[in-house]
A and B are shown apart, each in its own frame.
Chain A
Amino acid sequence: DQQVKQNSPSLSVQEGRISILNCDYTNSMFDYFLWYKKYPAEGPTFLISISSIKDKNEDGRFTVFLNKSAKHLSLHIVPSQPGDSAVYFCAASLDRGSTLGRLYFGRGTQLTVWP
């Protein structure tokens, strides 16, 4: 059963515009959320995270928003650049900071930024 869901398998955005990637989760016990970026034939790289006690975290062009009541988070990329074209994975964890547990990943969204 998929506890982290990314319902849009792909997103196409023009360079300079905003990219919004969405993620939903079902487990209300998740307390930490992460976004990873992945290029083909490479391992994912960590992008940005947010704790459940916050509703927004910003790092340069990347901002993650968390709506706990809706069990929804989103990643905003502004402005989008062609180099942002990759697969983006949403992930969640229980009991952040503990050495127990694991990350739960969504299926990913392929972002394509065109000139």
Chain B
Amino acid sequence: DGGITQSPKYLFRKEGQNVTLSCEQNLNHDAMYWYRQDPGQGLRLIYYSQIVNDFQKGDIAEGYSVSREKKESFPLTVTSAQKNPTAFYLCASSPSNTEAFFGQGTRLTVV
């Protein structure tokens, strides 16, 4: 089946640790995105990538890093510099900047 797969669905991290969230798509989409959702905040853009080996910061990139070595994959690393990492993280892909297709999300909790 074509789609976007995020893993894991739930993730727990100790304070001070880096953690990487996986996002894979087999839709052959050029663009991929990472959003963060907090209660009452809607979707805020962390990073996005239009092509392989290129990516741009979104509105809340501090404390996060990404890579785009393959068209299908856009992993997000939440570093220890991110002061409030507990949130619901959503990955999306798009053939252009029109309809974006979202994964099922990863719930990250810092313990």
Contact = CB atoms under 8 A, between A and B. Distances in A.
Interface of A: 6, 9, 32, 34, 36, 41-46, 49, 89, 91, 93-103, 105-108
* B interface residue count range (under 10 / 10 to 19 / 20 to 34 / 35 or more): 20 to 34
Given A41-B105, A43-B90, A99-B50, A105 B42 contact: yes
Contact of A89 (B43, B99, B103): B43
B42 A9 contact: no
Given A44-B43, A93-B98, A96-B96, A102 B105 contact: no
B97 A107 contact: no
A108 B96 contact: no
Contacts of A42: 104-105
A95 B104 contact: no
B102 interface: yes
Given A43-B103, A89-B43, 11 more contacts: A34-B99, A36-B102, A43-B4, A46-B100, A46-B101, A91-B100, A101-B97, A102-B45, A102-B58, A102-B97, A107-B42
Interface string B38-56: 0011111100101100000
Given A44-B90, A102-B45, A108-B42, A96 B97 contact: yes
Interface in B1-35: 4, 6, 30-31, 33, 35
Q: Tell me whether chain B's interface is mostly helix, strand or loop, or mixed.
A: strand
Q: Tell me whether chain A's interface is mostly helix, strand or loop, or mixed.
A: loop
B21 to A, nearest CB: 13
A107 B104 contact: no
Interface centre among B6, B33, B44, B102 (most CB of A within 10 A): B102
Nearest to B92: A43
Interface centre among B6, B33, B92, B98 (most CB of A within 10 A): B98
13 contacts: A41-B105, A42-B104, A43-B90, A43-B102, A45-B102, A46-B99, A93-B97, A99-B31, A99-B50, A99-B96, A102-B48, A103-B97, A108-B43
